[in-house]
Amino acid sequence: MKPLSLYCKSYRTDLRRVVRLAQSIQQFNTEQLPFYVSVPTQDLSLFREHLSGLCTELLADETILAASPRINPAQVAAMPGSTSQQVVKSEFWRLGYSRACVCLDSDAVFIRPFGQADFMTPDGTPYTMMDEAHDLLEDAFRRKRERVVTAFKGEADLVQQIFQRPGRRYSFGPFPLVWHRAVWESLDTHYLQPRGMSFADAIAQAPIESRWYGEALLAYKAVPLMPCQALFKVYHYAWQFDQDRRDGVSIDQLAKLYCGVIFQSAWERDMDWPKEGGDWFSRMGRRLRRRLGRI
């Protein structure tokens, strides 16, 4: 079992984004960390065609779910895509490819050389993203986006109450995240199994996989807590990216602090495969909202 791997759960709409991610890994993966991509079985041939020549190992989502005890595939299939993908991502560890993985989203791009030391200590302890999300919340205050603040508090409170942890609200993100199999095992052993639950049941209860991992780490201490800030610069909203461009923040400058950049697919819709969704009016409306700084 390798110490560390890279993993991305995707699907056909994000095909172009995954190709871009794989190209950046090919360019900057100095230690040749293995890179796995999982997609639904029906998308395998499409991804195989477009990822040809890039150092990527393709897996079927169904293979991951088949390795997950107590999971009912029909239950996962009935979930919205944004929820079911959390189950697949969080069960990747069961395949036993590595002790830890860097869980990437399709909209990630590496911007500088990287290796194992960027994600874990020399003894194999993963770095854990953990802060109180003040940067995001301050931006929300400036933009009068109270819903962002309300959502953060609600998500944090929901999972903290499950683990009966009072105190400060933490963010255990943003993606990409370094996940250690021992933490997922501890959640399974100490919380899920005694309740006869699968991780799909847990996600149905609280659909925030990063919080399940983070709160399990705090509760069961399966690995030492080595906190760090975000590994990638995340542009949650288009207006954040536009503001940085206006302020002259360059990729070279970001590379001094981060391994990569996240361009949220919600506003980078021109990267959708095979084309941007929606009719002409919805596409134009989206572009107008982007220009006005509303997305």
Look up the CATH number of the domain holding residue 168: 3.90.550
Q: How far is residue 239's CA from residue 261's CA, in Å, rounded to a whole number?
A: 15
CB 31 within 8 Å of CB 44: no
- The pLDDT of residue 182: 98
**Residue 231 — φ and ψ, nearest 5°?**
-80, -30
Query: 265 vs 221, which has greater pLDDT?
Result: 221
**What is the domain count for the chain?**
1
Collect all residues with Cβ–Cβ distance below 8 Å to 211 and sequence separation of at least 6. Answer: 155, 156, 158, 159, 172
Quote the pTM value.
Answer: 0.90
Q: What is the pLDDT of residues 241-265, one digit of tens each?
A: 888 889 999 999 999 999 999 987 6
First to last CA, the chain: 42
Please give the residue range of the domain that contains residue 32.
2-291
Q: How confident is the model at residue 60 (pLDDT cuts 50, 70, 90)?
A: very high
| pLDDT tens-digit readout, 121-142 | 999 999 999 999 888 888 888 8
What is the rounded CA–CA span in Å between residue 190 and residue 166? 19
Residue type for position 288 = L
Mean pLDDT to the nearest integer, 151-179: 95
